[in-house]
Chains A and B, each alone.
Chain A
Amino acid sequence: MKILVPVKRVIDYNVKVRVRTDGSGVDLANVKMSMNPFDEIAVEEAVRLKEKGVASEIVVVSIGVQQAKDTLRSALAMGADRAILIDATSDVNQDIEPLAVARLLSRIVEAERPDLVIAGKQAIDNDMNATGQMLAGLLGWGQATFASKIEIADGRAVVTREVDGGLQTIGVRLPAVVTVDLRLNEPRYVSLPSIMKAKKKPLEERTAAALDVDVTPRLKIVRTVEPPQRVAGVRVASVDELIEKLKNQAGVL
């Protein structure tokens, strides 16, 4: 079984985001960039399926700027076999929208014919939570989103999903798209030897233009601002004082 995993280069999870004062966006200059944490979980799951003998090959794909090669090398170091970079922009500030990403991925899927696409449920920069569902829609494939458990058997994936009321388990016929949630697994730390080995793994480059996909944004970002900031309130010394304040000052009790 062949698995395809899309990975995105995003601002690191621990970095405090700074919004530019002129409203033009978020400051990405000299900021640490990493693989989207949900995509790391997706790569980890694919590698575990390979280690269990369920998967035979893992192809990782990233879409965006040349620097996304670093993200692909990280995925290769975790255990993916090959990587494809789709060069879609030279501007690090241009986010390629989920629809364009899904269209590009659908071209790669047509060429690579994977049995399963495992993707992160959302990217922590645009917080869209859309690409996996869109890809499944474009391909006419089944989808299982927000997975906290994946089992592959008899030509289908049995997926436990994190939903609003608790958990839901569904079966989805392969080929399919599965998007992963936080509690599916804990991604491994990569060792130095695997980082060295990853440098020798194949990394192929394509362009959005050659794949004949228009990546012009459908959403025009008019401005980006900081949300209203809360200010720290008061320290209370005791439970009694807290109750008194909540009753008489805040009026919420």
Chain B
Amino acid sequence: MTVLLLAETHQGRLATDAVARTLSALAPLGDVHVLVAAGEGAEAAREAASLKGVSKVLLAESESLRHGLAEPAAALIASLASGYRHIAAPATAFARNILPRVAALLNVMVLSDVIAVHGAESFDRPVYAGNAVQTVQSTDPVVVFTVRTSAFAAVGRQEGAPVERVAAVADPGLSSWIEDMAVVSERPELASARVVVSGGRGVGSKESFDAIIQLADKMGAAVGASRAAVDLGYAPNDWQVGQTGKVVAPDLYVAVGISGAIQHLAGMKDSKVIVAINKDEDAPIFKVADYALVGDLFSIVPELTGKL
């Protein structure tokens, strides 16, 4: 049995952490072939080949694959699908866009956000914002699924596996890229950071969100936000942690001015240690926090930043 793993690349570079974590989820399923589909992907392919568990890298380079558009990528994967029992990818926005389309082209279901692999057909996945976990058994000939990377550790390195070029399929020309408004940051990535500092509605304004950022920078942490903070414009959309944002499980999660709606908890409750700072002592976030500090975040956060 062989697995085809769709790798994510950004401007020709592999999203190594996401791929390495997905590889550890796939370990029980057999050989893994990684597909790098990009504008220029040679460097990403070499990087993927050096990750433990990869037996071959397929490299497809084409202008139509440069920006992650779903139609050409899904058509490519569907054209490669025969011979694979599983088709998987990390559950990122990139793959969530593509894999359900692949599943439809193959007339099979997709499983999103797999958190445990029990065997070739049996998987766990969260439903209802993580308030329930389902064990499901697939009856499809090909199992297409995305993996919640925060549930798995990254694999290590190996001697490079072979890289084989495959042809991209003709671009159906249904959609076209216009622009990316990506924020380039020196901070760790939210999905893989060891420490995350998040701010919520209680932070009060975009300006006062700077205190959260300063604390995060002092701790070498990624910055997160609740949906309320993003909706109110305090923080950009890609910082959102929760059911419909990113799911994180860092060693330390610091929630500042976040009340703790179930949709937010869905995105962070698997963190190893949770610290909550909130002036409302009845805030639901305190029910999941290991360390609770009740008080005014506007004095606590600068004090904490200063003393660390």
Contact = CB atoms under 8 A, between A and B. Distances in A.
Given A219-B111, A242-B293, A173 B97 contact: no
The B contact surface, by secondary structure, is mixed
B167 interface: no
A246 B133 CA distance: 30
| Most central of B237, B252, B304 by chain A CB within 10 Å | B237
Nearest to B75: A137
A interface residue count range (under 10 / 10 to 19 / 20 to 34 / 35 or more): 35 or more
B129 A234 contact: no
| Most central of A121, A133, A144 by chain B CB within 10 Å | A133
Interface string B46-62: 00000000000000000
Contact of B130 (A26, A181, A227, A253): A227
B177 A124 contact: no
B16 interface: no
A218 B175 contact: no
A23 to B, nearest CB: 9
B172 to A, nearest CB: 8
A239 B300 contact: yes
Contact of A128 (B112, B129, B133, B287): B112
The A contact surface, by secondary structure, is mixed
Interface residues of B, number: 88
Contact of B108 (A165, A218, A222): A218
Interface string B266-300: 00010011110000000000111111111000001
A176 B286 CA distance: 44
Interface in A134-193: 134-138, 140-146, 148, 158, 161-173, 176, 181-183
Nearest to A20: B132
12 contacts: A26-B132, A98-B110, A125-B127, A128-B112, A164-B238, A170-B69, A171-B175, A218-B138, A219-B111, A219-B136, A219-B138, A230-B288
Interface of B: 10, 67-71, 74, 92-94, 96-105, 107-113, 122, 126-140, 172-183, 191, 195, 227, 230-231, 236-238, 243-244, 246, 251-252, 262, 269, 272-275, 286-294, 300, 303-304, 307-308
Given A99-B108, A125-B127, A239-B307, 13 more contacts: A102-B104, A122-B244, A130-B100, A130-B110, A134-B100, A163-B238, A219-B139, A224-B134, A225-B135, A227-B126, A236-B293, A242-B304, A252-B272
